[in-house]
Every structure is written in structure tokens, then in C-alpha cells.
Amino acid sequence: AAKDRGRRTFALYEAEMTANAAHYMTRSLELRRGLENGELVLYYQPQFDGKTGEMAGVEALLRWNHPTHGLVGPHEIIPTAEKSGLILEIGSWVIREACTQARRWQDQYGQKLRMAVNVSVRQMQQPGFADSIADQLAISGLPAEDLEIEVTESMIQDEISMIQTLHDLRAVGISLAIDDFGTGYSCLRSIKSLPISRIKIDRAFVNGLPGNSNDVALINAILAMAEALGLSVTAEGVETRAQYDFLRDVPGIKLQGFLLGKPVPAEDVFTATIGKTKQI
């Protein structure tokens, strides 16, 4: 009986696998179609200088304007894209689009603006990735110093080829940030030795400010470490006035979060805030 049960369970499992595989096939075909139809779009979330309150840059965040499902976020796009290999095409589209948009804004408003772009590990592993970035900068006319690439801690775990790619990117002149800092497995030694210029403190830590004493202790430790290593800091997920007040006086800090500005389509980013101090 146990054997039968085992077999039955396996049959169910197999059916589920087949259903998942079919679902996945459908999704990746859909995504390819969406990419080809121009349904992928970038939203931009502003980042503010803590001291002056001025907008210092934006982060490009992928969205899919799906004809029937509406606006779809990256958590529903990236896994399918990575599994199917479409991430390479999508990733280069993201970089091209983001650089072009940043340059357009700089021309339009005559103001320095840094564009931050997320990449996935498969892009970084692609031979010639740094060269392709250099090409996109040349084509768009965006100065290298105005592009920042965000990588996660897990992407750079002591993998030689990945570390070489970071150095190649740095040689192109762009800056590199570690995203979601503190949530991955942090190797402090590699942070010190890698050509990283910024850490983005994950919103999990910002969340508990200023009331949660553990989060306060962790944030203070991260800030002290960043200062000692000469790293710039961005805090993610600033949602409340109290969090903002806690963080804004940290020298050189940049702040990002729903309190200050949500991710919005390109046409909505600057109209309200460019050249003005964001007053909250």
C-alpha cells in the first residue's frame, strides 16, 4: 500500500511538474512576445541627497505593460527571463533605454543626473559585458560617471570571472553599487577589495527605524563600516518621516523610498521636482 501511495504521489508530482513546465513555456513565449511588441517599460524612482534634498539620480525599474494583466513587476518577469535566457536581450534593452533616457534628461534640464540600473548574474557572466556597456554609453552620449550598476552580494561571491567583470566595468568609468546590502551573505573582505563605490542599505533595516534598537544598531554599524571604507551610502525603502529624519543627516547619504518618490514612468519623474528642493 505504501508503494502504491508512493507511486500515486509521484504521479501527482509529475503532473504538477508538467503543468509547471507548460506554464513556464507559456510565460516565456509571452515574455518574448511582450519584448518584441514593446510592452516592456522602465519606471524610474528618484533618489535624493539627504543634505540638500535635491534629486541626485534615479533607479530604473523594469515593468511589463501587459495587454491583459496590466502592469507587471520585476518579480514576475525576471525569474522567467533568467530561466529562458531572455534576460540577456531584456537586460541590454534596459541598459540602452536607461542610458538614452538619462542623456535625454540631462539635455532637457541641463542638470547632472545619475542613472542606476539593476543587472542580473547572467548578464554579468556574459563575455564582453563591460564592452557592451561602454558601447551603450558611447551611443547614448551618457558620461560613464553618470551610470551606476547595481549588483547583489550573492552575485559576486568570490567568483573570479565576476570579480574581473567588476574591474572591467570600473575601468569603463561607471560606478558600482551593492544592492540590498545586508540581506545576502556579506563578505566584508571582498567589499574592501572590490571596486565598489556604494552600498544600498536594504529596506529591511530602514524599516525598523527609529524605534527598533536592533535596526538602529545595525544601521549605525553599516554606516560606520561604509565611512571607514570610503563607500557612499544609499538607504532604500524610506517610507516615513521618522525614518527620513533619522537618515538625512548622515554625511553624503542618498535616500530612496515611497515617502520621497515612487517609481513612475519617465514623463512623470522630473516635472515636479527637477531643479527644486524636494520639500517634505
13 binds ligand C2E (CB under 6 A): no
Nearest distance in Å: CB 56, ligand C2E = 15
Among 140, 179, 191, 246, binds ligand C2E (CB under 6 A): 179
Other CB atoms within 10 Å distance of the CB of residue 193: 10
243 binds ligand C2E (CB under 6 A): no
120 binds ligand C2E (CB under 6 A): yes
Question: Among Mg ion, ligand C2E, none, what does residue 61 contact (CB within 5–8 Å per kind)?
Answer: ligand C2E
Residue for cell digits 538602529?
Answer: 216
Cβ 58 vs Cβ 46: under 8 Å: yes
Q: How many residues does the chain have?
A: 280
Q: Applying CB under 6 A, what is the total number of residues that bind ligand C2E?
A: 23
One-letter amino acid for residue 36 of the chain: E
Q: Applying CB under 5 A, what is the total number of residues that bind Mg ion?
A: 5
184 binds ligand C2E (CB under 6 A): no
Q: Mark the segment that binds Mg ion (CB under 5 A) among 35-43, 130-138, 173-181, 210-218.
A: 173-181
One-letter amino acid for residue 190 of the chain: S
Residue 59's alpha-carbon distances to 247, 256, 280, in angstroms, are 19, 9, 20
One-letter amino acid for residue 122 of the chain: R
Which segments of the chain are extended strands (E)?
Answer: 40-49, 55-66, 70-72, 114-118, 147-152, 175-181, 198-201, 232-235, 254-255, 264-265
180 binds ligand C2E (CB under 6 A): yes
Cβ 63 vs Cβ 42: under 8 Å: yes
Among 198, 203, 248, 254, binds ligand C2E (CB under 6 A): 203
CA distance 278 to 143: 25
Reduced to 3 states, what is the DSSP secondary structure of residue 54?
strand
Mark 179-218 with x for binding to Mg ion (rule: CB under 5 A) and - for no binding: xx--------------------------------------
Cβ 83 vs Cβ 49: under 8 Å: no
Cβ 254 vs Cβ 226: under 8 Å: no
Residues 221-240 that bind ligand C2E (CB under 6 A): 236-239
Nearest distance in Å: CB 70, ligand C2E = 14
Mark 224-243 with x for binding to Mg ion (rule: CB under 5 A) and - for no binding: ------------x-------
45 binds ligand C2E (CB under 6 A): yes
Residues 62-101 that bind ligand C2E (CB under 6 A): 62, 73-75, 78, 94
Chain residues that interact with ligand C2E, rule: CB under 6 A: 45, 61-62, 73-75, 78, 94, 118-120, 150, 179-180, 203, 236-239, 256-258, 263
Which stretches of the chain bind Mg ion, using CB under 5 A? 118, 150, 179-180, 236
